Structure 1
Amino acid sequence: MERLQKIIAQAGVTSRRKAEALIQEGKVKVNGSVVTELGTKVSPHDKIEVNNIPIEREEPVYFLFYKPTGVISAVSDDKGRKVVTDFFHNVNERIFPIGRLDYDTSGVLLLTNDGEFANMLMHPRYNVDKEYIVKVAGIPTKQTLRALERGVRLEDGKTAPAVATLISSDRQKNTAIISLTIHEGRNRQVRRMLEAVGHKVLKLKRERYAFLTVRAMQPGDYRQLKPHEVKRLRDATVT
């Protein structure tokens, strides 16, 4: 038996908090009857409807995926471009990406059918580190790296403190490779941060998400997360 709001959130309908509001507003039915009590528990056999639409319940699954460049972080695309779920040929669950990586960005991406888990990891209050390896035009100075670490002002506000390290530089080609670790998830944030300090991004890879990497994988590969990995990610969102 599980709490009703948890089941709704896990099904990817909405967050647990919004699920609680839907229950209190009388928009949730269990076996045809409206339920407004937040403490209600349901079994796997109970039929649950939200706004008169039955929810589909699956066993939760969690995947680590090495997203290649030239792939959309979505489950469908109206322009017919390749999407991340196209790589999961033998997975029957209705999985979706947790957050997104840009079309031209490769690296670590998590996918799941557990909406509550996804919402927790994407919530801005939880500082889940994401490390990017970036090839840029020009060679950043120490002052530029410190500016990235302190936070730069973008059109949607100043970024949170980060960790920036120069890995290597090529003075002949006037390019550099840096590591940038952030915990926010704004749209195209890494590219915008570097453009704001005068460096165009030439290549971008998300090297690490929390403690997870794709170092032993090839672009397009995926694997299921181990139970202890899922637990560590959950623990990272506990305040």
Structure 2
Amino acid sequence: MGRLQVERLQKVMAQAGIASRRRCEELIAEGAVRVNGRLVTQPGTKVNAMQDRIQVHGKTINQTKKKIYILMYKPRGYVTTLHDPQNRKTIADLLNNIKERVYPVGRLDYDSEGLLLVTNDGELTHALTHPSHEVKKTYLVTVSGVPSKEALEQMAGGLDLEDGPTSPAQVELVDVLQDRSLLEITIHEGRNRQVRRMFEKIGHPVLRLKRIKLGPLNLKGIRPGRYRFLNNKEIRELKKQAGLLIPKHVSSGKIKQKLNPKIRRA
């Protein structure tokens, strides 16, 4: 006999693939959730994940739903939602033959492209998007003009944006061609349009943005608009970096900040 799974209601809902944990809290507060027929509006209510009947908008959730993990290469011109009131193309249009209800981990702007994780594992989504776990995200960014070494050092140390200071970043000037530059930047925060706002702050607007890494994941072998399922090794490593698994071997090494521009002018 397994031990009783008594957990917070929003966590159980997220694990069942209803939505992110934050959105589940909102659904509870909105009066959309019943437990054993009783309306529950208080997030944090404890439930028995194995015995209680939980309904969202009148539909009983399936708490034994198979977890799926999809790595997608989102092209530009798609919104990172499953439905769009403006009738723009969404990532749902790219998820052929996926019957499970899944949702994206974080967002990429309409004009941005690159690596996007899509899953029905709400617990992992919460962990990956929580800044305390410091899961790194790396972007290739084309900007207008050529940032100075001083500007890049300022970015690496942290910038004051309208919603507060950013954490230190890793930034490298990769190439310079005429009036634009290619840079690689790694951050662990997930604020709205953060990378674009950081480059605007130093006076070099973003012309093109592509996410190339998320934790241990990269875009190797995936073309724009395509996706693949993660293998067990990748899932385990992702959960480890998100703080959901305790690593067997903990390295004391630390990634050093890269700020040694190698400039090739056209």
TM range (shorter): 0.7 to 0.9
CA-based RMSD:
2.5
User: Could you say which residue in structure 2 is the equivalent of 1:55?
Assistant: 61
Quick one: structure 1 residues 34 and 199, their matched pair in 2 at CA, closer, same or farther if it must change by over 3 Å?
A: closer
Distance change >3 Å, CA 200–CA 56, structure 1 → 2: same
Pair 1:97-2:104 in alignment: yes
Equivalent residues of 1:130, 1:209 under 8 A apart: yes
| Structure 1 pair 41–73 and aligned structure 2 pair: CA distance change class (3 A) | closer
Q: Which moved more, 1:191-200 or 1:112-121?
A: 112-121
Q: Secondary structure at the match of 1:125?
A: helix
Change (3 A) 1:140 1:13: closer
Contact kept? 1:29, 1:52, Cα under 8 Å: no
After superposition, the Cα gap between the structure-2 partners of 1:55 and 1:80, relative to the gap in structure 1 and judged at 3 Å, is same
Q: Deviations over 1:19-53 (max 9, x none)?
A: 7xx7xxxx7524x579998473406xx63235865
Does the 8 A contact of 1:61 with 1:113 survive in 2? yes
Structure 2: distance between partners of 1:33 and 1:131: 45
2:82 is the counterpart of 1:75: yes
Shift of 1:231: 1.3
Q: Distance in 1 between matches of 2:218 and 2:19?
A: 29
Q: Which runs of 5+ in 2 are unaligned?
A: 245-266
1:231 counterpart residue number: 236
Structure 2 equivalent of residue 203 of structure 1:
208
Unaligned runs of 5+ residues in structure 1 are none
2:5 counterpart residue number: 3
**TM-aligned CA distance change 1:41 to 1:106, over 3 Å:** closer
Mapped partners of 1:119, 1:54: distance in 2: 22
Alignment partner of 1:42 is 2:50: yes
Identity %: 39
Q: Return the match for 2:120 from 113, 116, 120.
A: 113
User: What TM-score do the two structures reach when normalised by structure 2?
Assistant: 0.77
Inter-partner Cα distance in structure 2 for 1:227 and 1:129: 20
- Which residue identity does 2:5 align to in structure 1? R
CA contact (8 A) 1:168 1:176 kept: yes
Instruction: Report the AA paired with residue 160 of structure 1.
Output: S
TM-score, normalization: structure 1? 0.85
